[in-house]
């Protein structure tokens, strides 16, 4: 197969797995290995692009052919990927049609070739009419499930369309300069000398005008810089870390916020994650940066299994959530989540904060963080915790920072709440 046909086939394999309910991250390496000669960049571009516009692609396929409901799921996924390729503007229309048809053979679906060819040619002939029809549906217009659109519209009546549009966009690439090894401005000058344009996005944050592989960043292997969203970088700042404090990062993997805290102050850090394999990611990230912490694979809601009884001065509770604020980085999330999942996450978040509060020193602070835009996981959880916890008080964020960061061109979506324990 030609490179585009191979990339389409590999991307379709990934997308079909997501459509069957599997996480993209769990299968991406396996699917890439199936791409043979296709480039990783092309596969990822087609896969992520297809999943970002998944609702729209489904609507198009259904409008084009009654057969799609009974079609082999892999062939249907191939059609969705072909729509993405056609809309990308990177390829000539006739090339996409021919290469998609050729991909059927490589996917061991040779009998599907005439069907795929006919559907795509019909799409090109009736494109304007189909676009108008699909735009009349919520999923077709906003590229999110109907329930997601409804919840965001209710929560942010003045900004909901912008939130949804951000969730469909390419995410920005932001760097965090290691303050132990250099300054933001000096690193910006180093990049400028190499022809890489940046914008200041925070005390240690630089936003790249154009994304690039992390391995190509000057000093990346030596620990001079890391890739971390500008919104995520607010956590270490909001905690007001001081030298020699005992600090807990309760849900730490893959270690970006742990590393940022260690770069910010000479603290004693304990980093937990319930997944042992993800704890290895924390250790690798810290090793690259020349940083050290006590890393434990443990359930933060069961302190008896990991806590030595010495209270922490600061706790970062970056709790598991729907990840609705970073859906553009993980586009499968929009289609794997269900509306009912939100209540389950909120209950788990409440258990985590209750457990961690017992390990916080009097006068200490806990920063509650999610990467969600759903209020049920954010203000609702925090308000309920403060209401049932007599020694807890919610503080204003330093610098009048907003509690809810909505996703936009410069950062992802995050929620922050700073809680103080009575002395």
What residues act catalytically? 371
Structural tokens at position 400:
């009048």
State the first-to-last Cα distance of the chain, in angstroms, to the nearest integer: 68
d(CA 31, CA 12): 9
């Amino acid at each position: 197969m030609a490179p585009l046909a191979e990339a389409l086939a590999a991307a379709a394999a990934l997308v079909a797995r997501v459509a069957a309910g599997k996480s993209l991250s769990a299968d991406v390496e396996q699917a890439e290995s199936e791409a043979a000669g296709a480039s990783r960049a092309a596969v990822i571009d087609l896969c992520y692009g297809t999943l970002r516009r998944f609702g729209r692609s489904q609507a198009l396929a259904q409008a084009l052919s009654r057969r799609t409901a009974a079609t082999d799921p892999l062939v249907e996924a191939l059609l969705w990927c072909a729509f993405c390729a056609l809309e990308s503007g990177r390829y000539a229309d006739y090339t996409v049609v021919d290469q998609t048809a050729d991909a059927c053979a490589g996917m061991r679906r040779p009998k599907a070739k005439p069907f795929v060819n006919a559907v795509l040619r019909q799409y090109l002939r009736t494109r304007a009419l189909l676009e108008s029809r699909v735009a009349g549906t919520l999923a077709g217009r906003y590229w999110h499930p109907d329930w997601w659109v409804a919840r965001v519209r209710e929560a942010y009546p003045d900004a909901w369309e912008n939130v949804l549009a951000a969730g469909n966009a390419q995410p920005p690439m932001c760097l965090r300069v290691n303050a132990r090894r250099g300054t933001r401005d000096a690193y910006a000058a180093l990049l400028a000398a190499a022809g890489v344009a940046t914008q200041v996005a925070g005390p240690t944050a630089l936003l790249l005008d154009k994304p690039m592989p992390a391995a190509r960043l000057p000093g990346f292997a030596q620990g001079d810089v890391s890739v971390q969203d500008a919104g995520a970088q607010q956590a270490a700042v909001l905690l007001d870390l001081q030298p020699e404090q005992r600090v807990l990062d309760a849900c730490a993997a893959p270690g970006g916020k742990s590393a940022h805290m260690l770069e910010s102050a000479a603290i004693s850090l304990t980093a937990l994650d319930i997944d042992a394999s993800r704890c290895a990611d924390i250790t690798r990230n810290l090793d690259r940066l020349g940083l050290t912490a006590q890393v434990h694979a443990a359930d933060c809601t069961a302190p008896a299994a990991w806590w030595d009884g010495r209270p922490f001065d600061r706790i970062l509770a970056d709790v598991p959530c729907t990840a609705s604020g970073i859906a553009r980085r993980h586009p499968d999330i929009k289609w794997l989540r269900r509306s009912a999942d939100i209540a389950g996450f909120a209950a788990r978040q409440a258990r985590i904060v209750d457990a961690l509060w017992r390990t916080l020193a009097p006068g200490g602070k806990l920063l509650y963080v999610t990467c969600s835009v759903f209020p049920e996981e954010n203000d609702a959880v925090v308000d309920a915790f403060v209401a049932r916890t007599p020694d807890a008080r919610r503080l204003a964020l330093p610098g009048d920072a907003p509690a809810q960061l909505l996703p936009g061109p410069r950062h992802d979506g995050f929620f922050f709440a700073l809680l103080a324990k009575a002395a």
